[in-house]
Structure formats: C-alpha cells, structure tokens
Amino acid sequence: RWLVCLGALLPGAGCYFVVAYTYVFQFEKVSNFTECKECPNMNITLPPVSYSIGIWSPQKYIWMMIMFIHLPPRLAFLTLYRRLFLISAPKSQWYSRINYIYMLTLWAEPFGLILVSVVDINGGFVLHALGFAIWIICFNFNMLFNILLHHFGGCRDVHDRMETTWRIKCVIFLVGYFCAISTPITYPYFTAHCSPFAYNLFSLAELIEVGCNSIFYAIAYFEFPKTRITIGIKSVQRNLNELDKMAPALPHKDAV
C-alpha cells in the first residue's frame, strides 16, 4: 500500500497540489500569465505544469521534495513487473525482447521526470523539452508494453481481477495516448499562430497525462495485493579456503 501511495499516487497528487496552490494563493500569476514575447497581450488561463513545478516558489520546492520521496519507491515497480512477466513468460523470443525493452523504458521514464523537474523551462528550454519528451514517450510505451505482456503472458486468465485491471489499463492507455500525440501538435500551433486555445489544450493534456500516470501505476495495488517488498543485507558464509583464494595472506617477514 505504501509503495503504491509513494511510487504512484504521490507525484500525481503533488502535481495537482502545486497547480492548485498557484490558483488559490498566487492567482495574479495565472491572470497575468503570458508565454512569450512573440505573442504579447495574450493571457493564458491554464499555464503549463512546468511553471508550477520549476519556476514559481514555493511550489518548485514542494515538488522537489515530492520527487525526493517518490523516486526510490518508484523503482520498485521494475522489480514487481519484471517478476510478474518473467514468471508468466511464454517461450517466445519476441516476448523476451519486449520484456527487455520494457525494463529499459521503465528506467528511462523516471530519468525524464528528473530532467524535466531539475532543469526549468527558463533556464534550459531544450533540456527541459527533452526531459518532457523522454517522460511522456517512455510512459506511453510502458503502458503499451505492459498491456501486451499482460495479455500474451496469460495474466488475464489467472484471475478475474487481472482481467479487470487489464481492461482498465487499456482505457488509461487510450486516454494517455491521445493526450500525448496532441502535445506536439498544439504547442507548435501555438508558437506559429499565438493561439491561447491551443496552449490551453497543451496544458490540459499535460495535466491529464499526469493523472493517467498515477492511476496506471496505482493499479499495481490490485495486481499484487499480497506482495511485500523487503530490503536487507544478506550474509554469505564462505569457508576459509575460498577466502584465502580471494585474498591470499601477506608473506611473513623473517625476523633478523
């Protein structure tokens, strides 16, 4: 339960909190918000998430604290799904390849989130945009790979609950996919035509994508209801002969 709360729900709830904080306590920033000098006198009612998590204070400090708490539990999802799909893996080469790529994109997604959080949109727009692209692309591929492995690995037949979670993940994937493909359309359209409507759509897609991310990974609570993850140090006993081979004793110096 704590793994799901910290690794899945915390970033979504935290992101919505810092955005709501801006509207409640710093509404003047929203009412007077203008994206770029090329589009003067164009107020945008829904600023992008990037400003709340990386520019405006104290929201950016709250978000960094959330990231510090969130990332270690998030990496546990790699272990959960890796074990699930390896145990149920059919003897198929393409299944193993998809599972391998899935593990890579699961690692890359939090890297993109770190990059988009650390490098703000004003300090390094290119790196910030790169981090956003890595995060949103890897997340959508993670959803796709998860759904495919879930289906072809036979997980749907294990329990009715697994069939239900698979259907829910398909719905979330469709919503997240259409939001993701809209962002490279709405933002360039905004920069070309100074359209506040296009920019508001871009910001709305960001917010929806954040919610999809949290809900999708929170489903793990129902897929692993009795699973516990423990972290510890395992002691390994070795006999003296093995230790001598690994680190032979120093030669004794003869006494004069």
pLDDT of residue 3: 74
pLDDT of residue 250: 47
Full pLDDT tens readout for the chain, 256 residues: 777 788 888 999 999 999 999 989 988 887 777 667 777 777 778 888 988 898 888 999 999 999 999 888 888 777 777 777 777 666 688 888 898 899 999 999 999 999 999 998 888 889 999 999 999 999 999 999 999 998 888 888 888 888 999 999 999 999 999 999 999 999 999 888 888 899 899 999 999 999 999 999 999 888 876 655 555 555 555 555 554 555 445 455 554 4
pLDDT digits (tens, 9 = 90+) for 153-206: 888 888 888 899 999 999 999 999 999 999 999 999 988 888 889 989 999 999
- CB proximity list for 251: less than 8 A, separation 6 or greater: none
pLDDT of residue 239: 53
- CB proximity list for 18: less than 8 A, separation 6 or greater: 52, 53, 59, 60, 62, 63
pLDDT of residue 243: 45
pLDDT of residue 104: 93
How many whole angstroms separate alpha carbon 232 and alpha carbon 165? Answer: 31
Q: Token pair of 50, please? A: 């990037």
User: If we measure between CA atoms, which residue out of 228, 165, 231, 233 comes closest to residue 3?
Assistant: 228
What is the pTM for the complete model shown? 0.82
Where do the domains of the chain lie? Answer: 2-225
How many whole angstroms separate alpha carbon 98 and alpha carbon 34? Answer: 43
How many whole angstroms separate alpha carbon 5 and alpha carbon 214? Answer: 9
pLDDT of residue 206: 95
